[in-house]
Structures are given as C-alpha cells and as structure tokens.
Amino acid sequence: MRVLVSNIMMLNERDRFDAALRQKGLEPLWPEVDQFMSEADCLAHAGTMDGWLAGDDSITRKVIEACLPRLKVISKWGTGVDSIDLAAARELGVPVTNSPGAFRDAVSEYAIGLLLGASRRIVATDRGIRAGRWPKGRYIGLTGKTMGIVGYGAIGQGVGQRARGLGMRVVAHDPFMATSPDDAPLLDLATLLAEADVITLCCNQTAENRHMLNAAAFAAMRQDVMIVNVARGGLIDESALLAALESGKVAAAGLDVFEAEPLAPDHPLLGFDNVVVSSHNANSTIQAIEAVHANTLANLYRHLGL
C-alpha cells in the first residue's frame, strides 16, 4: 500500500517518517510541497495512494472522486479540516481523521505571547535596542480589560484560562455552544465586538465567516481594540485591518495567519511596529507536535488495518 505524505511537518522530517512508514510495510510518496497542495497538485497524485497524510491541502470533491476507489483514509495532520470537503468525503465513504484539542496549550500560550508582544511593543523594543536606541514607550496594559474570544473550543478555552491569569474578564462567541464549559458568558458576535478590548480568533474558517472582521466589524469595535488571530487568515479582511491600524482604531495586532501565506516581504502590515507577525506556527511546541505525529500515524494505520 502507498501513502501520500503532503503535510509540511512530516515532510520536514522525511527520513524519520519514511523509515516509520516502511517499517509498517507501506510505500511513502513524497511530493514537492511549499506550504500546501492546490487542487491541481492533489489531482496530479490521484489514484496513486491508499492513504493520505494530509496537510492544509485543497482536498475538494473533485480530488476525492479522482482518488477513488483506491483511497481508504485521509489522516489530516493537526486539527483544522477546513481545506477538506468533509461532506463529499462522508458521501463518498472516505474517513477523514484529525487530532482535535491537541494544540490547546501550545496555541493558547502563543496567542497570549502574540498579544503581549504587540500590545507592549516587545519586538519593536528589542529591535530598537539592537539598533543602538533605548526606547521607553508607554502602552496599554491588559489587567482589567475584556478578552473576547471567537470560537470557544479547546484552544479558545485555553486562551480564556490564560487571560484570566492576567486579570482579564473573558467573554466568548461560539454559535455551536449553548453554554460554555467554564462559565464564560457567551455573547452574540455584535455584542462581543462592542464589549471586547481584545478580540482573539480561535474558530474554524468557513464560507460563511470569511472576512468576519471586515470594515463594518472594525467600525463596531472599541477604540484601541487589540486583535489576535491564531485561527485562519481569511477570517480577517486585511485591507480593513490596515485601515483600522492606520486610523488608530486598532492599537495592536498579533497575527500568526494571513490571507496569503507565506506573507510577502513587502506586505504593508510589516510597516507597523504595533503589529507582531508569525509564520503560521502557533502550534510549535515539542510536546504538541510529537503527540500529533503519533496520533496522525495511528489514525492512518487503523484505517489501513495495520
């Protein structure tokens, strides 16, 4: 049986996972991947694999149909499955597995790090000192502020736990919850946007919530609001964010994800010292990555009968 390995995390350790898969009697296929595979890239490998260790690849209905009848399982590395047509996979009988909740601590820690880095200008201060300056800025603190979390699953709850540790009030918006497991007040999105001093995105991206934070949403927010995105780049209309940064409406932003990745070196977001950017890498703790490696392989093996 052959397995397509297209997720960046295993591609980065090709020798290790090539050996692990071969030990199970599998033949791994190693495509050339930048960040993820487009639909056309995926179609180029259709019909060649029994299992798929997938990344954020564009696995559409067309791709799944082209992979049948050979494909037996899509084992997604990580938690997010928004790049996979799940309805088509169900209809066509292809199991899709992932590692839900695996990045709760890793991503929620990182979200707070991005917030502190942006709000207190830690990165800008570091750069200033390295350039021979000794900056003494005054910035907005977090104690007593309201943290609004959009998407209150495992990662959102982890952010809430850490925000309370900083003395913040936590509110959340999650249309899939009737009550929150930790008693955080659940608000409609409009109310959260109006009340929150910090808005942290921890939700999946869907066709319905793309550009959730658009010009109208920024207009509805508090003055000096701070934005953190550790979810998906398409949740924010970057042109609207840029306008809100330029006007001073947004006081700080910490962004791990973007509409187009990798971020272009001349992207206008890089011109703001109150913006901290990262490389879609919020899950990057040794513990979390190793746990997801193990679970992703276990999901694959189970569905291949190994």
Neighbours of 184 (CB within 10 A): 24
Strand, coil or helix: 151: coil
Catalytic: which of 104, 280, 293, 303?
280
Which is it for strands 96-97 and 2-5: parallel, antiparallel or unpaired?
A: unpaired
Catalytic: which of 232, 238, 293, 303?
232
Q: Could you confirm whether 261 is annotated as catalytic?
A: yes
268-292: b (≥16 Cβ within 10 Å) or e: ebeebbbbbbbebebbbeeebbeeb
280 CB-near residues (< 8 Å, 6+ apart): 35, 256, 257, 258, 261
Catalytic: which of 61, 259, 261, 267?
261
Is the previous residue joined to 28 through a cis bond, with omega within 30 degrees of 0?
A: no
**Burial level of 193, CB count in 10 A (0-12/13-18/19+)?**
buried
Q: Could you confirm whether 121 is annotated as catalytic?
A: no
Neighbours of 293 (CB within 10 A): 20
Neighbours of 61 (CB within 10 A): 14
Strand, coil or helix: 152: coil
**Burial level of 211, CB count in 10 A (0-12/13-18/19+)?**
middle
Angle, to 10 degrees, between the axis of helix 154-165 and the axis of helix 104-119?
50
Q: Could you confirm whether 232 is annotated as catalytic?
A: yes
DSSP 177-211: -SS-TT-PPB--HHHHHHH-SEEEE-SPP-TTTTT
- What amino acid positions are annotated as catalytic residues? 232, 261, 280
